[in-house]
Structure 1
Amino acid sequence: LAAIPSVVLGLWGILVLGPYLAHHLEPGLHDKLGFVPIFGAPEATGTGLFTAGLILTIMIVPIIASICRELFLAVPNELEEGALALGTTRWEMVRGVILPATRSGIAAAVILGLGRALGEAIAVTQVIGGGTKISHNVFGPSDTLASKIASSYQGAASGIEASSLLYLAAILLVMGLLANVVAQIIVRRFDPLRGAR
């Protein structure tokens, strides 16, 4: 799934996921949980924050899973064999040896995946609905920094509108950089295989 282009996932979200959500999931959630403001959508459209969140989840889970797989393979065999030799079950070995040894890497993988989702523009622009403000419910149209830049930059006239989009791009760049720096700090500081620094 990580090799599927963003535009293809966005198109799938518009043509398949959005109509399914509009006809099956959104009306049910509105009927059962309509008293909660975030589920109080007046109409089911299949586009909005919820659909964009699902598309982003589909995009980042393979990235996080592949990084975690590499982390699990990097745990020394001696640790695994030692735990099994002491009579632990495979699940106890995973819970007591592998997960603690890779905890910081897993946290860093999640942060890197969220950083990837933060900068995703094309798929989100296709399914978020193009609202001009942040919606009060998860099914309403909205906008993200990346989708606002992608949808507005082509038509931006020179002047204040273009400048504001460039400022949004700078904010997005700083947020992505901070996500990567935090991930690096977590890995370096709390890596039990190398020792805390």
Structure 2
Amino acid sequence: MDIKPTSPTSPPPQDQPPLAVDKAGSTGTAARPGDRIFLAFSRGSGIALLVVMAAIAIFLTVRATRALTKNEGSFLTTFEWAANGAHPNFGIAVLLYGTVVSAVIAMVIAVPVAIGIALFISHYAPRPLASTIGYLIDLLAAVPSIVYGLWGALFLVPHLEGLYKWFDDYLGWTGIFEYNDGTPRSLFTIGILLAIMILPTVTSVSREVFLQVPKMHEEAALALGATRWEVIRMSVLPFGRSGIISASMLGLGRALGETMAVATVLSTSFDIQPSLLDSGGGTIAQNIASGFKEATDVEGSVGRDALIASGLVLFVLTLIVNGAARMIIARRKEYSGANA
């Protein structure tokens, strides 16, 4: 078959004009019906989320204002919760302290352990063992809160007495770990229970982040003679830093808002103890769950409105924590290796 050669003096073929791109991002002179439907659905979903968040914030603010205008005490500093009487006097000082302290204890215990488990699954364990451990971790995340609470009340609390006595013997001089031989139903017990509950969430997210580390980063470090730990320290952890922060904030959000497990183990006591091992304390979510039935919602009573006001504080606290996490991630994005 003869092929006609192209003349060297013939003009080069003209480039075809690029396809027009509309605002929806689709090619062609007009967006396809499927693209328009998907764009409308995506936009509507985002707007619906904002509407729901705004509705929750407005509801909490309106109901909280009713209670705060009738409160005869200081909402932030009063060590009492008597919102159902004719002269309401209530405050969240003890509840806010218990919420923050128990969540911090949970984070201190859970995050290092979760990162260690995630690194073992992603970089050390053989594939069959890693798959088994990953499945068990995901299964723990599906356990209902009330089951954790029953386990904590019936098994964890009786077996913590020895640990509390050890803390008292060696760290009791600090005052923070002083134990007075009471029932181990304290904020420290709640912190341990919450750490176990948030461990699967932090581990699962961290594991997925570590598995996304570019292989060329690890191979380059190994080629330079780095050990496996040095590869993790120089390549894996810097790349996954923002993911670790995100996973930790997810766990912190659950720890701050956990209700049934805390209510099953801890009885609310409106007194701040200097020792983390002393019985008493409480959290905002626990107080709402335990006091909502007793609080009346008739005209002139602010019992439930007071509980809703404490819920507004928890709502704002959660927003602050997540906002701070976003700021940290944004500032450290250039060091994470995600753009490499």
> What is the TM-score normalised by the length of structure 1?
0.89
1:51 to 175, 185, 189: 189
Percent of aligned pairs with the same residue?
A: 43
What amino acid sits opposite 1:26 in the alignment?
Answer: Y
Q: Identify the residue that residue 12 of structure 1 maps to in structure 2.
A: 151
CA deviations on 1:134-192 (whole Å, 9 max, x unpaired) are: 32221221101111111111111232221111011111111112222222333333223
Q: How many angstroms apart in 1 are the aligned matches of 2:228 and 2:171?
A: 41
Q: Quick check: 1:74 aligned with 2:212?
A: yes
Query: SS of the residue aligned with 1:131?
Result: coil
**C-alpha distance 95-32 of structure 1, shift in aligned 2 (>3 A):** closer
Q: Is the 8 A contact 2:222 2:231 kept in 1?
A: yes
* Root-mean-square deviation (Å): 1.8
5 Å-filtered alignment, 1:46-195, equals 46-139=184-277, 140-158=279-297, 159-191=301-333, 192-195=336-339
Q: How many angstroms apart in 2 are the aligned matches of 1:160 and 1:171?
A: 16
Deviation at 1:32, TM superposition (A): 4.1
Select the structure that is richer in helix. 1
**C-alpha distance 149-76 of structure 1, shift in aligned 2 (>3 A):** same
More RCO (CA 8 Å, sep 6+): 1
Q: How many angstroms apart in 2 are the aligned matches of 1:121 and 1:151?
A: 9
What amino acid sits opposite 2:274 in the alignment?
Answer: H
CA deviations on 1:105-150 (whole Å, 9 max, x unpaired) are: 2123222211210011111111123212332221221101111111
Q: How many angstroms apart in 1 are the aligned matches of 2:324 and 2:318?
A: 10
Deviation at 1:45, TM superposition (A): 0.2
Q: Kindly name which structure, 1 or 2, has the bigger radius of gyration based on alpha carbons.
A: 2
| Runs of 4+ residues deviating >4 angstroms | none
Deviation at 1:81, TM superposition (A): 1.6
Q: Quick check: 1:26 aligned with 2:164?
A: yes
Q: How many angstroms apart in 1 are the aligned matches of 2:207 and 2:309?
A: 37
Query: SS of the residue aligned with 1:30?
Result: helix
**C-alpha distance 33-90 of structure 1, shift in aligned 2 (>3 A):** closer
Deviation at 1:38, TM superposition (A): 2.5
Query: SS of the residue aligned with 2:200?
Result: helix
> What is the TM-score normalised by the length of structure 2?
0.53
What amino acid sits opposite 1:193 in the alignment?
Answer: G
**C-alpha distance 34-97 of structure 1, shift in aligned 2 (>3 A):** closer
What amino acid sits opposite 1:180 in the alignment?
Answer: N
Q: Is the 8 A contact 1:133 1:142 kept in 2?
A: yes
What amino acid sits opposite 2:146 in the alignment?
Answer: V
65-74 or 104-113, which deviates more: 104-113
Deviation at 1:31, TM superposition (A): 4.1
**C-alpha distance 194-39 of structure 1, shift in aligned 2 (>3 A):** closer
